[in-house]
Amino acid sequence: MKNNHLFIILSSFLSLVILFPLTSCEDGKPQQDQTTSFDIPELLPRNEKLQYGKEWDDVMNQYQKLKLTIQKNTEDHASIIKMAHLFIREARITGEHGHYYPAALSMTEKILQSKTKINNTEFLALVTKAGVLLSLHEFNKALETGQKALLLNADNAQIYGVMTDCYVELGMYDKAVEMADKMISIKPDLRSYARISYLREIHGQIPEAIQAMKMAVEAGIPGYEDTAWAMFTLAELLERYGETEKAKLLYEEILAARPEYPFAISALGALQLKNKNLNEAESTTLQAIQVIPEVGFYTQLAEIYKKQGKKESMDTVVKDVFQMLKDDEKSGHNMNLEYAHIYLDLLEDPDNALVFAQKEYEKRPNNIDVNRLLARIYKAKSNDEMVRKYITLAKSTNSRHPELNVLTSSI
């Protein structure tokens, strides 16, 4: 489930919406709507492992201040946008996507449905909404929303980041490169370097991809969550292309700064699994699960139980995974690829895997990750003709993903 885990993480990071400088209205005094009110979603308690000193206190204080401000004036769009961003950050940190992504969308819809247009908050609401839709894997809807935002402001770096993500996921790679170039020309920072790195990997430029992700890490602030993410993504990139020891050192470096960073913990568990240290892998993966309820951690645990021959334990975890996926779907999350990977890699059921992968292919037939997954599924079904078809599509960008070499050599 390693590749599925990467997809989840990348999708989640690439849709991150940063805080923008905001003012409430042009004259600084927006009119309060005396007749309209709306429920503000709650801030869920964080696992104590994720509180990181004063960080959680600051988040709780910010939430309460924003909540009071919005309750006093439901047309304070600046505060509503800030609340949406707070929910997005909490989704990333806590893994409570089913609560926080709908919460963030409810904030953006309040602005978009308002008859009061204040400064550029309509643009910011659209950018934020597009970012959440990306995280929900609703890529066509995200693109449509992003295009509306772009019409309102073509000089903002973040909108080009959102558009880059949309075009990448939809397999429109030339457009993605164009958008990323515009983003980095406006604001060369962690987020723009990360997107350049991903596009370089897609096009088979592996040393250049690694260099760009190193620049993303260097552009971050030590100890911050987005810097930890950039280090994590760099480590996975190194691991994917054979530099396992360097990757391991990076995972450990992340944990030195953020001791309970769950993705680095899980990644170490995955390395232990790869090295057939199954008991260590189980213990490490359970440690990650105790921090956040990430589907990828549970599928990794199920894979460990499978390797250990603990069928009953594996079946229990798989049942939990399917329930988590259903819960995510209820909150609007497209989970086609997650289902496909579970059926293929964990349950060894390529027929059911094909059902879900085909659904995703119909949504975005040019995406190389989707095509590579279909090639793997048809290999499991011993259909080499279809394997060749989807390998050709998966190689259309000159991708050098290791799975492609394995598939090519097998037919």
Residues 79-110: tens digit of each pLDDT:
999 999 999 999 999 999 999 999 999 999 99
Where is average pLDDT lowest: 114-123, 161-170, 174-183, 399-408?
114-123
Is the pLDDT at 315 greater than 60? The verdict is yes
* Averaged pLDDT, 258-277: 97
pLDDT for residue 356:
98
pLDDT, tens digit, for every residue of 340-353? 999 999 999 999 99
pLDDT, tens only, 36-89 = 467 899 999 999 888 877 889 999 999 999 999 999 999 999 999 999 999 999
Statement: residue 387 has pLDDT above 50: yes
The confidence band for 402, taking pLDDT boundaries of 50, 70 and 90, is very high
Section 182-210 average pLDDT: 98
Residues in contact with 80: Cβ distance below 8 Å, sequence separation at least 6, in sequence order: 70, 107, 110, 111, 121
Compute the half-sphere exposure of residue 357: CA atoms within 13 Å on the CB side of its CA: 26
pLDDT for the residue numbered 37: 62
Q: Shortest CA distance to 219 belongs to which of 227, 211, 210?
A: 227
Measured CA to CA, the distance from residue 376 to residue 349 in angstroms comes to 12
Q: Any residues with CB less than 8 A from the CB of 83 and at least 6 apart, and which?
A: 40, 63, 66, 67, 70, 107
Segment 221-247 shows an average pLDDT of 96
b vs e for 175-213, b when ≥16 Cβ sit within 10 Å of the residue's Cβ?
bbbebbbbbbebeebbbbbbbbbbbbbbbebbeebbebb
The topology under which CATH files domain 335-411 is 1.25.40
CATH class of 260-331: mainly alpha
Give pLDDT, residue 408.
94
Question: Confidence class of residue 338 from pLDDT cuts 50, 70 and 90?
Answer: very high
| Predicted pLDDT at 120 | 83
Query: For residues 319, 236, 397 and 18, what is the CA-based torsion angle, rounded to 10 degrees?
Result: 90
Q: Does domain 188-257 have CATH number 3.30.2130.10?
A: no
